Structure 1
Amino acid sequence: MSPGDEHDYRPTDRGGRTDDPYSTLGGTRQTRTRLPDSDAGHPQARRTARNSRSLVMIVGVVVLLIAAIAFANRGGGSDDASPGAKGRGSTGSAPTAATGTKPVQGKNGTIASGFAHDEQGAQSAAANYAVALGSAEMFDKAKRDGILDAVIAPSSINRFRDTLDKAYSRNFFRNVGLNDDGSTPEGFTFISRTAPIGTKVVEATPDRTTVEVWCTGLIGLAGEGSTKPVTDGWFTITVELVWVGGDWKASTHSQKDGPAPVGGDNRASSAEDIANAVNGYGGFTYAR
Structure 2
Amino acid sequence: MSLGDEDGYGNDSGRSSDGYSTLGGTRQTRTRLPDSQGGDGYGPRRPARKSRSLFTVIGVVVLLLAAIAFANMGGGDGGNGGDGTSGSNGKKTGSAPTAATGTKPVTGKNGEIASGFAHDEQGAQSAAANYSVALGSAAMFDRNQRRAITTAVYAPAVAAARQDALDKVYSGEAFLANIGLNTDGTAPAGQTFISRSNPVGTKVVKFNGDTASVAVWYSALFGLAGEGSKNPVSESWFTNTFALTWIDGDWKVTDFTQKDGPAPVGRDQAASPAGEMADAVEQFGGFTYAR
Structure 2 length-normalised TM = 0.69
1:206 aligns with 2:209: yes
Query: Of 229, 233, 245, which aligns to 1:230?
Result: 233
Residues 34-45 of structure 1 aligned to structure 2 (within 5 Å): none
* Residue 110 (structure 1) aligns with: 112
Residues 265-284 of structure 1 aligned to structure 2 (within 5 Å): 265-284=268-287
Q: Aligned equivalents of 2:220 and 2:64: distance in 1?
A: 17
Q: In the alignment, residue 63 of structure 2 is paired with which amino acid?
A: P
1:3 aligns with 2:63: yes
Q: Aligned equivalents of 2:138 and 2:200: distance in 1?
A: 19
Query: Of 132, 135, 158, which aligns to 2:134?
Result: 132
Q: Which has the higher contact order (CA 8 A, sep 6+)?
A: 1
Residues 150-229 of structure 1 aligned to structure 2 (within 5 Å): 150-168=152-170, 169-229=172-232
Distance 1:115 1:4, change over 3 A: closer
Q: Aligned equivalents of 2:196 and 2:279: distance in 1?
A: 14
Distance 1:202 1:14, change over 3 A: closer
RMSD over aligned CA atoms reads 2.1
In the alignment, structure 2 segments of 5+ residues that lack a partner are 1-61, 77-90
Q: Is the deviation greater in 166-175 or in 275-284?
A: 166-175
Q: Once superposed, which parts of structure 1, at least 4 consecutive aligned residues long, lie more than 2 Å away? A: 2-11, 88-92
* Residue 11 (structure 2) aligns with: none
Q: Aligned equivalents of 2:160 and 2:192: distance in 1?
A: 31
C-alpha contact 1:7 1:255 (8 A) present in aligned 2? no
Q: Aligned equivalents of 1:163 and 1:238: distance in 2?
A: 21
Identity of aligned residues (%): 56
Structure 1 length-normalised TM = 0.70
Q: In the alignment, residue 199 of structure 1 is paired with which amino acid?
A: T
C-alpha contact 2:194 2:233 (8 A) present in aligned 1? yes
In the alignment, structure 1 segments of 5+ residues that lack a partner are 16-87
Residue 172 of structure 1 deviates from its aligned partner by 0.9
Residue 197 of structure 1 deviates from its aligned partner by 0.5
C-alpha contact 2:105 2:123 (8 A) present in aligned 1? no
Q: In the alignment, residue 201 of structure 1 is paired with which amino acid?
A: V
Residue correspondences, number = 214
